[in-house]
């Protein structure tokens, strides 16, 4: 039952830490749980805490079962019990070492690493990192990891201007200009 979970007596250190959490924590779930415990300390009932308007309680909208759950977490684990518990599931593939390897690769020009190309593309970077770390992720996931790390990716602009002969280029440019003007017309006079 929601109304049956009683808050255990707390120490002054826990009270001070709870006040600090309510005022400064950036994690919304921990903040919400700390606010619930604080409101319960102030004498509010479970149903009042769940029904308080957002302006008055500073809560982010909790359902009635959330209140006793937060109280139980605090009773069992103290301030540490307000934090999220480990979740099941596959651990993330992208690790801190993968991110460091990615940053190192991006800072290094590809020819220095033995590649024939001069700029990184997502496909090339993905391939390089896969060979280096044996962690293979999609290009889209690589793009998201780069964005999370504050790295900007823009598609490389492939330009072949460095391969053209400047004299021949100017000659062809002049020819094109003459052709755009059209054929020369002679003045025909009729007698």
pLDDT tens digits for 92-102?
889 999 999 99
Residue range(s) defining the domain that contains residue 30: 2-82
Q: 74, exposed or middle or buried, with CB in 10 Å at 0-12, 13-18, 19+?
A: buried
Q: Is the pLDDT of residue 190 over 60?
A: no
> What is the DSSP track for 23-39?
HH---HHHHHHHHHHHH
**Structural domain contains residue 171:** no
**Structural domain contains residue 102:** yes
Into how many domains does the chain fold?
2
Same domain, 65 and 105: no
**Structural domain contains residue 75:** yes
**Structural domain contains residue 157:** no
Same domain, 132 and 101: yes
**Structural domain contains residue 170:** no
pLDDT at 2: 44
How far apart are alpha carbons 136 and 128 in whole angstroms?
10
Domain boundary among 82, 110, 126: 82
**Is the CB of residue 104 less than 8 Å from the CB of residue 40?**
no
Same domain, 10 and 78: yes
Same domain, 6 and 60: yes
pLDDT at 4: 64
How far apart are alpha carbons 106 and 109 in whole angstroms?
7
Write out pLDDT tens, residues 27-81.
888 888 888 899 889 888 887 777 766 555 444 467 888 889 999 999 999 999 9
pLDDT at 59: 47
pLDDT at 141: 95
């Amino acid at each position: 039952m929601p109304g049956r979970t009683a808050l255990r007596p707390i120490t002054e250190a826990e009270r001070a830490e709870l006040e600090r959490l309510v005022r400064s924590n950036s994690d919304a779930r921990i903040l919400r749980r700390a606010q619930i415990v604080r409101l319960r300390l102030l004498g509010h009932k479970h149903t009042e805490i769940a029904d308080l308007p957002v302006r008055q309680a500073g809560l982010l909208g909790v359902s009635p079962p959330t209140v006793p759950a937060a109280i139980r977490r605090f009773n069992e684990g103290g301030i540490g019990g307000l934090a999220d518990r480990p979740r099941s599931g596959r651990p993330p593939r992208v690790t801190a070492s993968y991110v460091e390897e990615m940053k190192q690769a991006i800072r290094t020009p590809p020819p220095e690493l033995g590649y024939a190309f001069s700029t990184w593309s997502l496909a090339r970077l993905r391939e390089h990192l896969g060979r280096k770390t044996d962690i293979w992720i999609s290009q889209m996931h690589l793009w998201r990891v780069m964005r999370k790390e504050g790295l900007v990716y823009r598609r490389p602009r492939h330009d072949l201007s460095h391969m053209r002969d400047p004299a021949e280029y100017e000659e062809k440019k002049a020819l094109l200009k003459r052709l755009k003007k059209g054929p020369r017309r002679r003045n025909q006079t009729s007698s």
